[in-house]
Chain A
Amino acid sequence: MFTSSTCSLLRDQNTVLGVTGTTFCPEQFMNQYFQLFFYCLFLLVYRLHGRYHEMAPNVVPMDYTKDPDVKLPMQLIINMPELKENPFKERIVASFSEDGEGSLSFNDFVDMFSVLSEMAPRELKAIYAFKIYDFNTDNFICKADLEKTLNKLTREELTDEEITLVCEKVIEEADMDGDGKLGFADFENMISKAPDFLRYSLGNQVYQQKPF
């Protein structure tokens, strides 16, 4: 039954973490997480804490009852196996970082996995996708942002004229209010026409170590 397996897994996690007592105050903490944003399996939170701790064992505490203020820098996080090969890894991490420099606290870390998981709603994914593609963080996807996106997508295989052409065409197709760049409304409108958005882009990942 699921209960016994999850309980045993919890116990295993605790022993792996090397702590006998409660690390998390499970009830209140889990309540909060469940209510606030729970799109990934709740067990992931324990695993995520394990992964977060693994990245910097000396810095990340085991005990989160007192809500410590610990942030890991971007360099550590983009070396995670799920993100290492992704060309947008810096942007993904930066979009979830609250201090503008790309370092994530544990809350931001869980936030990131929550939005990138399968069950997050489309609107939320659209907002974060927009943030990811907005390289200069001016809340518009302008031509420079598009050029950077294309270079990352194609590993700079396209020639310069092709890139310019693609950027012009994209802005022509998606910009509706005529300001020469894509605002969030334009982006969302374009995404709504794409049936593949939830399937590929930022959707339907299974960011887990191993299935249970």
Chain B
Amino acid sequence: MSQPPSITLQVPEGTESDGQELSPDNERALHTSFHQLILEQSSLIEADLELELQERSREPPACLDTRDACAVSWPEPGQGEEHPSYSSASLQILASMPSRTIGRSLGAIISQYCNRTARLRRRSNRPPLQQLCRAARPSLRQYNLDTDPASTTLEEKRRLLVKELLSLSPSQCSHVLLTMPLSLEEKRIIRQQLSGQRGPLGQRAHHWAPFSSCGWPKVCIVLGCRGLWYRLLSLLRTAQPWHYALKQIGGRFGSSVLSYFLFLKTLLTLNFVSFFILLAFVVVMQAVYPSAAVSPQPFTGLELLTGAGSFTNSLLYYGYYSNVTLNDPCSSSPEGSECPLAAPLLPYNLPLAYLFSVWVSFLVTCILLVYSVSRSFLGSVRSSTAVLAIKVFCAWDFKVVQRRSVKLQCENICTQLKELLGEQSSRSRSQSRCQVLGHYLVMLLAWVLALGLASGCVLGVHHLSERMHTVQQEQQAQGSARWQQEILLLVVPFVVSLLNAVMPHLFNLLALWEKQDSPVTQVSVAIFRNLILKTMVLILLCYQWLSRSIICSAEECWETCVGQDLYRFMVMDFIFTLLDTLFGELIWRLILEKRQKKKQRPEFDIARNVLELIYGQTLTWLGLLFAPLLPALQMLKLLLLFYIKKTSLMRNCQSPSKPWQASRMSTLFITLLCFPSFLGAATFFSYTIWSVRPSETCGPFRGLETIYKSGKRWMLVLEKSNPNITWFAWVYQYLLENACLQFFMSAALIAVIYFNIQVVRGRQKVICLLQEQIAKEGEDKAFLIQKFQNVYEQRRRRS
């Protein structure tokens, strides 16, 4: 480098820059402070710049701090390529800007942390928010330009930092030291200087020497415990069931197919909770004190399919449960007479327990569902802005060290990136007006067709059940064999499951004909149509069960009959899922391979499978009151389904060709589970409890007007027996039964939700404004650099 020219930053007096570009001195009226400051600082900067450039050219780099030199020399070639017109002086100034030296230049880190600690100290003196001016550009006077950190040497910077650190409290000081991205050497030097200055001042030496003889065990314990806790957490994470299987599936097929299996896992958890509650409080109690049983029928294999026969008077169904207080000696004595004074061992009011257990399991399921809906909703909303960037930088799991896992992870990330790209590219396609109109017409036609098909199915099922009922009555009149009668019971579930298996394929064909653009819309439309079909069929069945005009009209114990019907529906559903997996995936793959002679495999239809899961879960919830052990059956079903689906997936299917994002889909699935499915089942349960008359001869609520009345009866008994707790009865009467309170509570909840929504919206607006401000600051910076460069060029040309 030749003799470096002198650089001055005196802004020319206006004649030169007039008409070329808008410079600060043209806006003198508004920004006098800016102009003044530039003039003030220009002389200083000029002198400093000269000094810096002369130093850098004279002394070889080895004499300087190697890291500073590195920071300067490395960017230069790169930036020279980017800005070939910039002079070396500009490039050197650019290179030593704070934003370009973060984490790299030692001096910059030290001065940055010096500023931070200074700000920490000054935080209490910050002026209140109202007094800050609202100009978009904060005045330069707020920054202390006199002590320009770039001009001091490393030693001075260290001294400054140590001075700042001393003014902090020891804990804050150690925290700042801990978070500094400096090397250990530097930190030791700083700490030595700190302790050197602190030592003679105060007796704080013991803070810095925890490894004295008394402190060692305590520290060991604390750190050991902490380490154990972290290890336990990581163990828990890996010990989750099916952890490796899920990783395998996700790595090969992407997160969309994985969401199905995760949904299955969620359902398993929900069922386990219900099962546990019912088992502990109802089933086990009744099993320990069995009621007077009708002579059990012999077990034939048909019971597994029909749920009737020897299963009828078992723990499986409502009819078996007794309506008396278990283990209560008073029950044996006649009504009205005095009970013996000896206290019973543990009287257990079974009807009450039955009602409360079912109610509590619904409540707990509701809470869990709402929680998972809110969590997945938050997750999908939050990650909608910088999805791709986050995926690129945060997806790599640094914990994996084995070659196979690393390969799996690479595949996983690759698939996810392709998914995201696919979704983003599909958004940016436009069509002509005619095409749009034609598209809408086709959509309308398809919807009409789909709704028509669904209604047709529902009517068909209704007529079929009526027909089956008459055939059954005939059979009973004729007195045919029991198994023949029971086979007839299987016809309606068979037909319903057949429709549920076949209609979605028809809907898929319809969707192909429709040709939706984005795969997300296609999947959503397919889900919605399928859902309508299933909902309509289920509503019909619920009506039939509760009205008992067709099904179970002849039975004495209609609840057991309904429970058996639900059992049959669940078993048929499972059988048809297996058949569907077999034919839809295995045999279809064989056919495709034979016919087309190339390795084309069927795709895993996520929407259809998820809806089948939701349908099965709805059946379980509907039948919870009538057959307390249904969750156990559902759990068994889900476990088998997981392994069967996974094996079939690995062998027969390929990853979806139109990759789409799974996080929004999983939100959709869990919302569907919550709203139509759970809400419907809860409504059915509430209606059954409030309005339907239980049967006279069987079950824990026999003889009552409604099931709800048992709760009321218990309240009265409680009031009578113990006059001290009349407040409880009062609470029950005025709070739970009164509709006003519930109305007010719902209104309050809605108000809170509205408030939170407004707060979120306000924050989003603030974020937008701040982002605009950052973009403007970036433009300012580019402008200033260009201006500096222009001034330098003019000076160079002049001299």
Binding site for B on A (CB under 8 A): 2-3, 6, 26-27, 30-32, 34-37, 39, 41-42, 81-82, 84-88, 98-100, 107-108, 110-111, 116, 118-119, 121, 123-124, 127-131, 133, 136-140, 146, 149-150, 153-155, 157-158, 162, 165-166, 169-170, 173-174, 176-179, 183-185, 187, 190-191, 193-197, 200-206, 211
Residue of A108, A177, A194 near B777 (CB, 8 A) is A177
Distance, CA A211 to CA B229, complexed state (A)? 12
Residues of B within 8 A of A153 (CB): 392, 395-396, 410, 413-414
Residues of A within 8 A of B47 (CB): none
Distance, CA A88 to CA B392, complexed state (A)? 13
Residues of B within 8 A of A130 (CB): 103
The reply to whether B394 and A155 form a contact with Cβ atoms under 8 Å apart is no
Which of B128-136, B205-213, B254-262 touches A? B205-213
Q: Does B310 contact A (CB under 8 A)?
A: no
Q: Does B31 contact A (CB under 8 A)?
A: no
Residues in B680-712 with C-beta less than 8 Å from chain A: none
The reply to whether A177 and B396 form a contact with Cβ atoms under 8 Å apart is no
Residues of B within 8 A of A84 (CB): 401
Known: A35-B208, A41-B223, A150-B417. 16 other contacts (CB 8 A): A3-B216, A118-B230, A121-B179, A124-B181, A139-B102, A153-B392, A153-B414, A154-B410, A155-B410, A177-B774, A177-B777, A187-B393, A190-B390, A193-B386, A204-B230, A206-B234
Task: Given A138-B75, A166-B417, A173-B389, check contact A200 B100 (CB 8 Å).
Answer: no
Task: Given A6-B224, A81-B401, A200-B396, check contact A193 B382 (CB 8 Å).
Answer: yes
Distance, CA A67 to CA B230, complexed state (A)? 32
The reply to whether A162 and B418 form a contact with Cβ atoms under 8 Å apart is yes
Residue of A110, A139, A201 near B104 (CB, 8 A) is A139
The reply to whether A166 and B234 form a contact with Cβ atoms under 8 Å apart is no
Categorize the interface residue count of chain B.
35 or more
Which of B18-26, B184-192, B315-323, B637-645 touches A? B184-192
Residues of A within 8 A of B208 (CB): 31, 35
Residues in B373-396 with C-beta less than 8 Å from chain A: 379, 382-383, 385-390, 392-396
Residues of B within 8 A of A200 (CB): 394-399
Q: Does B575 contact A (CB under 8 A)?
A: no
B416 CB → nearest A CB, Å: 10
The reply to whether A37 and B187 form a contact with Cβ atoms under 8 Å apart is yes
The reply to whether A34 and B211 form a contact with Cβ atoms under 8 Å apart is yes
The reply to whether A190 and B386 form a contact with Cβ atoms under 8 Å apart is yes
The reply to whether A196 and B390 form a contact with Cβ atoms under 8 Å apart is yes
Residue of B79, B386, B395 near A138 (CB, 8 A) is B79
Q: Does B731 contact A (CB under 8 A)?
A: no
A192 CB → nearest B CB, Å: 10
Residues of B within 8 A of A133 (CB): 393
A71 CB → nearest B CB, Å: 12
Residues of A within 8 A of B421 (CB): 162, 165-166, 169
The reply to whether B778 and A179 form a contact with Cβ atoms under 8 Å apart is yes
Distance, CA A170 to CA B407, complexed state (A)? 24
Residues in B178-200 with C-beta less than 8 Å from chain A: 178-179, 181, 183-185, 187-188, 191
Residues of B within 8 A of A3 (CB): 216-217, 220-221
Task: Given A85-B403, A176-B771, check contact A32 B188 (CB 8 Å).
Answer: yes
Distance, CA A27 to CA B234, complexed state (A)? 31
What 7 pairs across the A-B complex have the smallest Cβ distances?
A: A177-B778, A107-B184, A154-B414, A174-B389, A194-B390, A2-B224, A200-B397
Residues of A within 8 A of B185 (CB): 98, 107
Interface pairs (11), CB distance under 8 Å: A35-B191, A99-B66, A130-B103, A136-B78, A139-B100, A146-B392, A149-B392, A153-B413, A176-B774, A194-B393, A200-B398
B661 CB → nearest A CB, Å: 14
Residues of B within 8 A of A35 (CB): 174, 177, 191, 208
The reply to whether A150 and B392 form a contact with Cβ atoms under 8 Å apart is yes
A187 CB → nearest B CB, Å: 8
The reply to whether A36 and B393 form a contact with Cβ atoms under 8 Å apart is no
Q: Does B765 contact A (CB under 8 A)?
A: no
Q: For residue B780, which residue of chain A has the nearest CB?
A: A177
Residues of B within 8 A of A32 (CB): 188, 191
Distance, CA A33 to CA B178, complexed state (A)? 11
Q: Does B313 contact A (CB under 8 A)?
A: no
**Chain B positions 408 through 437: 1 when the CB is less than 8 Å from some CB of chain A, otherwise 0:** 001101100110010011000000000000
Q: For residue A161, which residue of chain B has the nearest CB?
A: B421
Q: Does B474 contact A (CB under 8 A)?
A: no
Scoring B191, B227, B414 by chain A CB atoms within 10 A of each residue's CB, the highest score goes to B227
B381 CB → nearest A CB, Å: 11
Residues of B within 8 A of A165 (CB): 421, 425
Distance, CA A166 to CA B387, complexed state (A)? 11
A124 CB → nearest B CB, Å: 6
Q: For residue B778, which residue of chain A has the nearest CB?
A: A177
Residue of B70, B188, B394 near A194 (CB, 8 A) is B394
Q: Does B782 contact A (CB under 8 A)?
A: yes
Task: Given A2-B220, A36-B191, A169-B424, check contact A138 B74 (CB 8 Å).
Answer: yes
Q: For residue A178, which residue of chain B has the nearest CB?
A: B778
Residue of A36, A116, A137 near B398 (CB, 8 A) is A116
**Chain B positions 61 through 74: 1 when the CB is less than 8 Å from some CB of chain A, otherwise 0:** 00000110010001
Q: For residue B192, which residue of chain A has the nearest CB?
A: A32
The reply to whether B398 and A178 form a contact with Cβ atoms under 8 Å apart is no
A60 CB → nearest B CB, Å: 16
Residues of A within 8 A of B750 (CB): none
Distance, CA A197 to CA B385, complexed state (A)? 16
B605 CB → nearest A CB, Å: 26
Distance, CA A98 to CA B184, complexed state (A)? 10
Residues of B within 8 A of A131 (CB): 103-104
